[in-house]
């Protein structure tokens, strides 16, 4: 039998525990922020010390300690199990079961689940009669389910300020958002079941039915439980990949329904304050996104998208934004074209941005075809633009989009209808998003891409080559590896690559490896120059990374935006190099959410 004093203590614990839980999460965020701030300071010092190619500084930063190497290789960059991380498990061509988290993400999720389970059952008097335990457990799980809604709403929005503050990708935040959502749903179900079991034991199922039909407190709680449960059933990647737009819009409707039911359910209860905070975060973030779209897309004649069909099932989109921004590396945007998909808004990486400035000079490597193809014989695949010549309008933003299903397929078909001319469409643009990852402090930079993943890497190459010429970066070696199925894909970035190859001092710092995986008899075999090499087949990623590591200058950065298989091989090879004492950092950019 639970004494009145014990019951009073447990009631107080149920009220204080969720607040302490949120304080603990805030403390974790602050700790991560401090650690990342120290990392920023370290990179800044390394950047300043390594400018102008100072060999002594580069030697100092080229290697790492065994403990840091172990931490990077076995925790920070390690996949959950052996080496598979980004490769998705699929059923057929359309159904995706998703990919595994990294080992660090897995550890965080494990401790998150364990902490929530512990908080739900801590100091519950299990030896007491069931009808006394159930109300305590009911209140505990219900309060924790509500408290979890605050971080869930923070993690859900791409407007999350923690993305830049903590240098954690939106993909990672979205992963934690989904798992915290599942925890909150399970806690809500436990809350409902505890009430229901106690009700049945006291008065039978008739009292449960009567409560659902006559008590607004009970049936609004049921509405919230049903709404959140349906959201949880939709959350697996298998269902999201089948009909993403349906998932997205139904998700918003279900959240609004569940919040409304829960608000009435918690009327005049202290937990309503936590729900209010979650609702405000959710509403403000959605209104903020709407305001961003209106600001970028309305006025000055509106935003336009000029769509051009490209070889190998891709389209190039030139965005003329009503209010453009300065394009930086790592940026993404959401694009909606009502004439193609009225209720669709898809995220894309920004591939290029025109500034209106001409080139400063330089030369270009000739990559010639023996049998013709991309260009006439003896004409470079990537021909340099003339100095001072620019064809595009200032502020133009460029995207490369590969045809998939839904919106991208319709967009490609519309562009194909006007094969020999451009299609101009009204567009709504939201962005920019993403956070700039500076590589200026690294002496050696390796960039890997496959297919349209090249859009993530182009601006990094341009920035680093320009910084090398200006003496503002520590980078002394840049290697770009791009894997494509056929030679026609080289057309996607011809103009931009030509501009890069024409930059001052490019020959001294940049190497480009283009791997064509399929036989292409129409294109023939290509002869490569010293700095731009065309190769057949798939790259041996380990050989490339280890060779660059042996010849590295200073600290090494490895970045990949590619298919799951290539990303996993790059991750594995980078960990191998780190295990050999190389001071390397690894960054993986996903193809999509």
Tell me the pLDDT of the chain (593 aa) as tens digits. Answer: 556 766 677 677 777 888 999 999 999 999 999 999 999 999 999 999 998 777 788 899 999 999 999 999 999 999 998 888 888 887 777 777 888 999 999 999 999 999 999 999 988 888 888 888 898 899 999 999 999 999 999 999 999 999 999 999 999 999 999 999 999 999 999 999 999 999 999 888 988 888 888 889 999 999 999 999 999 999 888 888 777 788 889 999 999 999 999 999 999 999 999 999 999 999 999 999 999 999 999 988 899 999 999 988 999 999 999 999 999 999 999 999 999 988 888 899 999 998 544 333 344 444 433 333 333 333 355 555 543 434 444 579 999 999 888 888 999 988 888 766 789 999 999 999 987 789 999 999 999 999 999 999 999 999 999 999 999 999 999 999 999 999 889 889 989 999 999 999 999 999 999 999 987 644 444 456 778 898 889 999 999 999 999 999 999 999 999 999 999 999 999 999 999 999 999 999 975 43
DSSP conformation class of 560: E
DSSP 149-198: HHHHHHHH-TT-THHHHHT--HHHHHHHHHHHHHHHHHHHHHHHHHHHHH
Nearest one of 411, 546, 403, 400 to 459, comparing CA atoms: 400
Which three-class secondary structure state does DSSP give residue 15?
Answer: helix
- 255-262, long-range: CB < 8 A, 24+ apart: 255/227, 255/231, 255/282, 257/223, 257/227, 258/223, 258/224, 258/227, 258/228, 258/231, 259/224, 260/223, 261/220, 261/221, 261/222, 261/223, 261/224, 261/227, 262/146, 262/220, 262/221, 262/224
Query: Helices in 471-540 by DSSP H: which ranges?
Result: 494-501, 506-509
The whole model's pTM is what? 0.90
Q: How far apart are CA 567 and CA 565, in angstroms?
A: 5
Distance of CA 356 to the CA centre of its chain: 30
Instruction: Specify the DSSP element, H or E, that contains 128.
Output: none
582-to-1, 69, 268, 585 alpha-carbon distances in Å: 63, 8, 59, 9
Which three-class secondary structure state does DSSP give residue 264?
Answer: helix
Which residues, in sequence order, are CB contacts of 563 under 8 Å at separation 6+? 86, 450, 451, 453, 591
């Amino acid at each position: 039998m639970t004494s009145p004093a014990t019951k009073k203590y447990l009631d107080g614990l149920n009220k204080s525990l969720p607040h302490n839980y949120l304080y603990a999460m805030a403390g974790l965020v602050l700790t991560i922020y401090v650690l990342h701030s120290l990392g920023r300071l370290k990179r800044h010092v390394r950047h300043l010390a390594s400018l102008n190619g100072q060999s002594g500084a580069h030697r100092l930063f080229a290697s790492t300690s065994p403990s840091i190497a172990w931490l990077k290789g076995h925790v920070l960059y390690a996949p959950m199990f052996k080496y598979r991380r980004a490769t998705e498990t699929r059923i057929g061509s359309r159904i995706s079961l998703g990919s595994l988290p990294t080992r660090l993400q897995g550890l965080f999720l494990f401790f998150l689940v364990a902490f929530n389970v512990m908080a739900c059952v801590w100091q519950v008097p299990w030896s007491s009669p069931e009808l006394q335990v159930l109300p305590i457990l009911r209140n505990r799980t219900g309060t924790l389910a509500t408290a979890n809604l605050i971080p869930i709403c923070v993690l859900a929005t791409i407007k999350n300020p923690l993305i830049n503050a903590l240098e954690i990708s939106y993909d990672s935040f979205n992963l934690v958002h989904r798992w915290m959502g599942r925890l909150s749903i399970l806690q809500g179900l436990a809350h409902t079941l505890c009430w229901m079991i106690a009700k049945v034991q006291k008065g039978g199922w008739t009292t449960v039915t009567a409560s659902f039909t006559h008590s607004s407190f009970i049936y609004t709680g049921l509405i919230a439980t049903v709404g959140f449960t349906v959201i949880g059933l939709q959350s697996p990647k298998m269902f999201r990949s089948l009909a993403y737009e349906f998932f997205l819009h139904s998700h918003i409707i279900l959240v609004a329904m569940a919040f409304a039911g829960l608000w009435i359910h918690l009327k005049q209860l202290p937990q309503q304050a936590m729900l209010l905070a979650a609702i405000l975060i959710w509403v403000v973030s959605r209104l903020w996104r709407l305001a961003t779209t209106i600001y970028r897309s309305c006025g000055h004649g509106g935003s336009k998208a000029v769509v051009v069909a490209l070889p190998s099932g891709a389209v190039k989109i030139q965005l003329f934004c009503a209010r453009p921004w300065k394009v930086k590396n790592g940026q993404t945007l959401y694009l909606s074209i009502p004439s193609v998909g009225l209720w669709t808004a898809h995220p894309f990486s920004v591939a290029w941005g025109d500034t209106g400035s001409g080139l400063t000079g330089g030369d270009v490597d000739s990559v010639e075809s023996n049998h013709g193809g991309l260009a006439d014989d003896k004409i470079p695949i990537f021909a340099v633009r003339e100095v001072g010549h620019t064809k595009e309008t200032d502020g133009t933003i460029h995207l490369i989009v590969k045809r998939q299903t839904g919106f991208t397929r319709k967009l490609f078909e519309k562009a194909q209808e006007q094969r020999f001319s451009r299609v101009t469409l009204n567009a709504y643009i939201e962005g920019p998003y993403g956070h700039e990852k500076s590589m200026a402090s690294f002496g050696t930079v390796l960039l890997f891409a496959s297919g349209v993943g090249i859009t993530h890497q182009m601006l990094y190459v341009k920035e680093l080559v320009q910084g090398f010429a200006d003496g503002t970066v520590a980078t002394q070696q840049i290697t770009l590896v791009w894997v494509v199925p056929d030679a026609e894909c080289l057309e996607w970035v011809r103009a931009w690559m030509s501009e890069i190859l024409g930059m001052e001092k490019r020959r001294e710092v940049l190497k480009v490896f283009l791997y064509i995986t399929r036989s292409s008899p129409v294109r023939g075999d290509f002869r490569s120059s010293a700095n731009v090499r065309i190769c057949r087949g798939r790259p041996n990623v380990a050989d490339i990374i280890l060779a660059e590591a042996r010849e590295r200058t200073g600290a090494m950065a490895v970045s990949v935006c590619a298919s799951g298989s290539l990303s996993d091989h790059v991750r594995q090879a980078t960990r191998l190099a780190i295990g050999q004492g190389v001071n390397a950092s690894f960054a993986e950019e996903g193809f999509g959410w």
